[in-house]
Structure 1
Amino acid sequence: MWQQSKLVSVGLVSLLLGSIGCTNNQANDMAVDFPQALNVAQKNVSTNQLSGRVIVDGSSTVFPISQAMATAFTKNNPDVKVNVGVSGTGGGFKKFCAGETDITGASRPINTQEMKLCQQNQIEYTELPIAFDGLAVVVNSQNNFVSCLKTRELRQMWEPAAEGKITNWNQVRGSFPDRPLQLYGPDAASGTFDYFTLATVGQEGKSRTDYKPSANDDALVQGVAADPNALGYFGYAYYLKNQEKLKLVGIDSGYGCIQPSPKIIADGSYQPLSRPVFIYVKKAAAVRREVNALTNFYLNPDNANIILQVGDVPLPNITLRAAASRFNRGMTGTNFGGRGAVIGVAQEGL
């Protein structure tokens, strides 16, 4: 394992946008033509003929990135079959540490229990950050009374003590109407669940249980879109894909109301609901040419448009190159010591 870096309680440094070649105006307009992004990305694929199969699973937040990367990669490598599944971060680590997958996506770092499982099964891995993501808090598109929530109000809604007690909107804020409060969120196997509970309640995994959980973020989107009394949360990329069906809620952590966007997530001001996302690559699989090539494809700074297209924020070139160097030198382990979800990780912590 490489030495654990010092974690800082600030967001991404201003280097982020500059390192991906975006001006402030460009960052405000993150609509990317996906075919064009694929054409750029295809130039970065090895021209050596590759074949084989790569099995990818894990986080629903990382899924859109992995799916887009696989599409771009296999366009020039048609003999490589990349199977991308979704089991959630926790479910993905179970499969990964059992040796069932080559790469797993994670919306939080690996935790101690998962590290022990990998050790028991002699699975060595390299932890690789691939992007930054924000959590979107959303309500039904017809909701006309919620535009911003304070982090203490999110805690009031979601903490274990709220179970069976905070059941109406006007209990959260007196000016809200006397209407039922219906909550939707990821299930307990999700890394997004782990991160959100730590960020809002203050303890990872501590949440009321009388909400509508799902491991499928698309199901959460559909639930909120169909329920006028709903509030839910999931990765920002899923909001971006479904924004005509949903209303985005701003979050006030004490510095005013802020709505997430790629630029806002990048500049570090959307706190505490922004975080890095990762892939973990099995060392035994990395010796296969197709796995090695796909992993380096994820980490190629020239593929930033693919990250932008799915609604996430590319990492600085220097961070991606450092990750690629660790991977290609065969370094293994985690940079977070098995802590699981961590709040306020900046570039320096990766």
Structure 2
Amino acid sequence: MKKLVFILSLAFIVGACGDKKSQKENKEETTGKLSGTIKVDGSSTVFPITEAVAEEFRAVQPDVKVTVGVSGTGGGFKKFSRGETNLSNASRPIKEKEIAACKENNINYLELEVAYDGLAVLVNPENDWVDSFTIEELKKIWEPAAQGVIMKWNQIRPEWPNEEIHLFGPGVASGTYDYFTEAIVGKSGSSRGDFTASEDDHVLVQGIAGDKFALGFFGLAYYTENKDKLTLIGVHNGEEVIKPTLETVSNGTYKPLSRPLFVYVNSTSVKSKEVVEFVNFYIDNSGELSKDVGYIPLPSELYVQQKENFKNFVENNQ
């Protein structure tokens, strides 16, 4: 399993505040009042960060329309590779087949990391028998061979109830699904098929919250939003049981279910001033806003290179 540090090739920087002039005055001096439409689609996991950035951006550039869709990481890359979106939210790195699709349509791009996320393993609050899982137990539940075979809780541990396990998880187009299956099952996109799947994490929250015998997984931020409806379960990392928190995700002890989150920028799009301004705004604010919506900011030293990478990307594609 690749460790989180191996994929920290890019990072953001939190921008400097500048002089003491008002934000509006600074904005007018640098870019002026902008207009246009910016289209973003992709990961439901990254959506809360991008939507928070978009909301703040609308306050300083009200004539720029920013739309943020949710079609899953895979669905977002399909649109991105066809040139239908300016930015693509992704909860995993772009795949070879998606890179090929971009090349076929002459779409060049820059990958930007925006935050860290821990995948949360959840049960219903009425579940009083599960206190933790091992990786082996999660694999036993979710691997393809489990379909039609591992159906009850007591098949995982004999002392657990003789009741059916009702599984909930992201759809197969989701980067969260890809990451979970790679980390737990050992192969991205490989799992049993008899579970309730949705690209909308709120649907998964409702399903688990309404079923005593439910078990599911999704991004940590959606647990944070709904902690009164769900119970977060710790995962044994080989040494001890760890639950995902800001500290355990950022220091790598919540393994193997910690990961970076990404936004991809289309090279053609940076010819538009409003897109450049939005991405710069994203870089300057994603650290703080990611915390606000339940994610973990990148280390500050990794932000510096990311800012420089985007500056060079813009200059090379003007």
* Same fold, judged at TM 0.5 (above): yes
Match for 2:101: what amino acid? Answer: L
Q: CA deviation at 1:305?
A: 2.1
Give the structure with higher Rg (CA).
2
Q: CA deviation at 1:316?
A: 1.7
CA offsets 1:88-138 (integer angstroms, 9 cap, x no match): 000000000011100000000000000011111111110111110010000
Q: CA deviation at 1:8?
A: 6.2
CA offsets 1:23-53 (integer angstroms, 9 cap, x no match): xxxxxxxxxxxxxxxxxxx789844312111
Write the distance in 2 (CA, Å) between the matches of 1:157 and 1:140: 17
Match for 1:292: what amino acid? Answer: V
Partner of 2:3: 9
Structure 2 residue runs without a partner (length 5+): 7-12, 15-22
1:323 to 297, 306, 310: 306
Q: Which deviates further from its counterpart, 92-101 or 317-326?
A: 317-326
- SS in structure 2 of the partner of residue 143 of structure 1: coil
The 5 Å alignment of 1:293-308 reads 293-300=277-284, 303-308=286-291
- SS in structure 1 of the partner of residue 313 of structure 2: coil
Q: Does 1:262 align with 2:246?
A: yes
CA offsets 1:201-260 (integer angstroms, 9 cap, x no match): 001111000111111111011110111100000000000000100000000021111011
Cα pair 2:270 2:314 within 8 Å, conserved: no
Q: CA deviation at 1:11?
A: 5.3
- Of all paired residues, the percent bearing the same amino acid is 46
Write the distance in 1 (CA, Å) between the matches of 2:218 and 2:59: 30
* Superposed CA RMSD: 2.0
Q: CA deviation at 1:304?
A: 2.3
Q: CA deviation at 1:317?
A: 2.1
Bigger relative CO (Cα 8 Å, ≥ 6 apart):
1
Partner of 2:232: 248
Q: Does 1:160 align with 2:115?
A: no
1:310 to 290, 293, 299: 293
Write the distance in 1 (CA, Å) between the matches of 2:65 and 2:169: 32
Q: Does 1:128 align with 2:115?
A: no
Structure 1 residue runs without a partner (length 5+): 1-6, 13-18, 21-41, 333-350
Write the distance in 2 (CA, Å) between the matches of 1:116 and 1:249: 39
Q: CA deviation at 1:76?
A: 1.1
| Count of matched residue positions in the alignment of Structure 1 and Structure 2 | 298
Partner of 1:188: 172
Match for 2:283: what amino acid? Answer: L
Write the distance in 2 (CA, Å) between the matches of 1:232 and 1:133: 16
Write the distance in 1 (CA, Å) between the matches of 2:287 and 2:25: 12
Write the distance in 2 (CA, Å) between the matches of 1:290 and 1:310: 24
Q: CA deviation at 1:190?
A: 0.4
2:71 to 70, 75, 87: 87
Q: Does 1:71 align with 2:55?
A: yes
Q: CA deviation at 1:326?
A: 1.1
Q: CA deviation at 1:174?
A: 1.2
Q: 1:303 to 1:99 in 2, by over 3 A?
A: closer
Write the distance in 2 (CA, Å) between the matches of 1:198 and 1:171: 23
Write the distance in 2 (CA, Å) between the matches of 1:10 and 1:43: 39
TM-score scaled by length of structure 2: 0.90
The 5 Å alignment of 1:45-124 reads 46-47=27-28, 48-124=32-108
Partner of 1:202: 186
Write the distance in 2 (CA, Å) between the matches of 1:179 and 1:226: 16
Cα pair 1:45 1:73 within 8 Å, conserved: no
Match for 2:312: what amino acid? Answer: R
Match for 1:311: what amino acid? Answer: G
Write the distance in 1 (CA, Å) between the matches of 2:184 and 2:165: 18
Write the distance in 2 (CA, Å) between the matches of 1:262 and 1:330: 31
Write the distance in 2 (CA, Å) between the matches of 1:325 and 1:170: 54
Write the distance in 1 (CA, Å) between the matches of 2:206 and 2:152: 21
Cα pair 1:136 1:233 within 8 Å, conserved: yes
Q: CA deviation at 1:328?
A: 1.3
Write the distance in 1 (CA, Å) between the matches of 2:45 and 2:201: 8
Q: CA deviation at 1:262?
A: 1.3
Write the distance in 2 (CA, Å) between the matches of 1:143 and 1:110: 37
Q: Which deviates further from its counterpart, 321-330 or 218-227?
A: 321-330
Write the distance in 1 (CA, Å) between the matches of 2:286 and 2:104: 35
Cα pair 1:143 1:228 within 8 Å, conserved: yes
- SS in structure 2 of the partner of residue 329 of structure 1: helix
Write the distance in 1 (CA, Å) between the matches of 2:142 and 2:149: 11
Q: Does 1:221 align with 2:205?
A: yes
